Copies of this chain bind each other. A is one copy, B any other.
Amino acid sequence: VSSIRTTSPEVLIELDRSRPRGLRAQVEEELRAAIRSGRLAAGTVLPSSRALAADLGVTRGVVVAAYDQLISEGYLSAHQGSGTVVDATVRRAAPPVASRPAAAPLDVDFRPGLPDLDLFPRTAWGRATRAALQSTPRDDLGYIASQGLPQLRQELADYLGRVRGVSAEPDRLVICNGFGHGLSLVAGVLRAAGHDVFAVEDPGYDGARTTLAFTGMRHRGTPVDDDGLVVDRLRGSGARVAVVTPAHQNPTGAVMSSARRTALVAWAREVGGYVVEDDYDAEYRYDRHPTGAIQGLDPDRVIYCGTTSKSLAPGLRLGWLVLPDELVEPVVADRRATDSATSSILQATYAAFLAAGDLDRHLRRTRRIYRQRRDALIAGLARWFPEATPCGVSAGLQFLLRLPDHLDEEAFAARALEAGTKVYPLGPYRTGRSGDHWPGILLGYGRLTPAAAERGARVLGETARAAGR
């Protein structure tokens, strides 16, 4: 074991080059442990990846990858100009993990927000690519219109109208590279138009807050209850734009009630603002009637955003905005001046995929599989951990598990991890400014077999009982 005390800030990182576990994983583990134990406090600026790599005698790529992973887990934040910083939302585990016995190997990872990538329809996608390569007109390989290929906008308009109740004329559609991209485009345009604060759901998707902060936009956390965003609380927030996930609130799973939908759109009209509708994992619905998009209520006040990240794979980097008329040109102008357009071959491929009915087929197939996984997890929890309450289970690829009030979600997660099951505390989703603070964990089940989901449920129940002692 080579122990190295790095320079600025001082942090002990021990690498054992004889261990089969890779150096990257070791750097990651050591940093994670240091943050969780409090040795690295919130707000601490980490050394540059170059400096740390030099200290540790590893390549810079090892450190960059470890930082990347910890950023994606919410332990670190990276901000332009200020380097990599220990995130303020990480709460320390108590009692400290360091004093516990060595953890079991990771058996069940309940990571939320991901579909099962083994189900990605590689064959159908390859077929759609071939079709696109054969039929794409020559000029579509050149500098295409920044708004997106007409045939894809038409296919999407048809699909969104049919499946999501979106009033999506192709002229209002702009193809983009995923939700974060769409949100950053919208935030940039609205910032230029004088908006400087967005309301976000609390708890809500932390990635949206990062994107808003990056564009210089402030956010106001607004509470969520069983009917979705508490619209009354928007008044007086200073925000005239609200980002919401009405189909399946991320992370609580609440479906926004009809009354709230109407009230939300009325609020946007009243303040002369907008609703940004993140139609997050709306494709997966199991036990209830589909709820259309809010956008259909008022296409001039609602900015709709959808992607292929949950229905197919995040790696595609494909999304779309359906915009109020007056925002189409400013958003397209932004694309024109920056990244020009989304890859035309990717667009043509997705258009062919939709036209062939492959998305419908894929969703029918995967919906059945995800439902089985969800049912197994719910059954497992009912058997092994009945004191906990699953919330928002009727849709999506994940749900929120409300823990008994006496449990600390961070300590619970740390104990479960030692037993080989990884869960995701609700903490990072909270803005910390509103709402109840009961303990909860996110359980993504999309990637787990029914057997794994049940094993995980058993570990959670045992963890709770051990913590209760």
Q: Which residues of A are at the interface with B, using a C-beta cutoff of 8 A?
A: 48-50, 59-61, 64-65, 68, 71-72, 78-81, 83-84, 114, 117-118, 120, 122, 125-126, 129-130, 133-134, 138-147, 150, 170-171, 176-178, 180-181, 184, 188-189, 192-193, 210-211, 213-214, 313-318, 325-326, 328-330, 332-334, 336-346
What 9 A-B pairs are tightest by C-beta distance, nearest first?
A315-B344, A214-B337, A181-B339, A141-B313, A141-B315, A177-B339, A78-B333, A184-B338, A317-B343
A338-B180 contact in complex given A171-B60, A313-B141, C-beta closer than 8 Å:
yes
> Contact check: which of B50, B339, B346 meets A346 at CB < 8 Å?
B346
CB distance from A107 to the nearest CB of B (A): 18
Q: A126-B130, A192-B81 are in contact. Are A315 and B60 (CB under 8 A)?
A: no
CB <8 Å contact, A142 and B193: no
| Cross-chain contact B142 with A214 (CB below 8 angstroms) | no
Knowing A315-B343, A338-B184 are in contact, say whether A333-B142 is a contact too (CB < 8 A): no
Please determine whether B316 and A343 come into contact, CB atoms closer than 8 angstroms.
Answer: yes
With A and B bound together, what is the CA distance between A206 and B144 in angstroms? Answer: 18
Chain B residues within 8 Å of A64, by CB: 145, 147, 171, 328-329, 332
Of the A-B pairs whose beta carbons lie under 8 Å apart in the complex, a sample of 16, sorted by A's number, is A50-B326, A78-B332, A80-B333, A81-B193, A125-B133, A126-B133, A141-B315, A142-B313, A142-B314, A143-B314, A177-B177, A178-B339, A178-B340, A180-B337, A180-B339, A346-B346
User: How far is the CB of A161 from the nearest CB of chain B, in Å?
Assistant: 17
CB < 8 Å neighbour of A314 from B49, B141, B170, B342:
B141
Q: Shortest beta-carbon distance, A24 to chain B, in Å?
A: 11
Cα distance, A189 to B81, chains bound together (Å) = 8
Are B61 and A170 in touch, CB under 8 angstroms? yes
Residues in chain B near residue A48, CB distance under 8 A: 326, 329
Whole-angstrom distance between the Cβ of A393 and the nearest chain B Cβ: 23
- Determine which of B50, B144, B333 lies in contact with A315 in the assembled complex, contact meaning CB atoms within 8 Å: B144
In the complex, the answer to whether B171 meets A59 with C-beta atoms within 8 Å is yes
Give chain B residues whose Cβ lies under 8 Å from the Cβ of A144: 315
A219 smallest CB distance to B (angstroms): 13
Q: How many copies does the complex hold?
A: 2
Tell me the minimal C-beta distance from A381 to chain B in angstroms: 26
**Chain A's interface: helix, strand, loop or mixed, by majority?**
helix
Add 8 more A-B contacts to A49-B328, A180-B340, A317-B342 (CB < 8 A).
A81-B330, A83-B329, A117-B138, A141-B314, A143-B314, A176-B339, A177-B339, A184-B337
Given contacts A60-B171, A318-B343, A343-B316, contact A122 B143 (CB under 8 A): no
Cβ A72 vs Cβ B143 within 8 A? yes
Q: Is the CB of A141 within 8 A of B120?
A: yes
Among B68, B140, B316, B336, which residue has its beta carbon within 8 angstroms of that of A345? B316
Contacts of A126 in B (CB 8 A): 129-130, 133
User: What's the minimum C-beta distance from A246 to chain B, rounded to whole angstroms?
Assistant: 23
Q: Which residue, A49, A178, A343, has most C-beta atoms of chain B within 10 A? A: A343
Bound CA–CA A171/B49 (angstroms)? 11
Contact A177 B340 (CB under 8 A): yes
CA distance A213 to B338 in the complex (A): 10
Q: CA of A341 to CA of B68 in the docked complex: distance in angstroms?
A: 12
Inter-chain CA distance A313–B341, complex, in Å, is 13
Q: Which residues of B contact A133 (CB under 8 A)?
A: 122, 125-126, 129
Shortest Cβ gap from A352 to chain B (Å) = 13
- Report the minimal beta-carbon distance from A223 to chain B, rounded to whole angstroms: 25
Q: Nearest CB to that of A77 among chain B residues?
A: B333
C-alpha spacing A251/B126, complex, angstroms: 39
- Taking a contact as CB atoms under 8 Å apart, the answer to whether A315 and B71 are in contact is no
A138: B residues at CB distance < 8 A = 117-118, 120
B80 touches A192 (CB 8 A): yes
Cβ contacts under 8 Å, A114 to chain B: 142-143
Name A61's closest neighbour in chain B (CB-CB): B171
Q: Is the CB of A80 within 8 A of B180?
A: no
Find the residue from A122, A189, A317 having the highest chain B CB count within 10 A: A317
Per the bound structure, the CA–CA distance linking A78 and B335 in Å amounts to 11
Closest to A116 in B: B138
Chain B min CB distance to A197 (Å): 18
Pairwise interchain contact A338-B145, C-beta atoms closer than 8 A = no
Complex-state Cα separation, A178 to B214, whole angstroms: 22
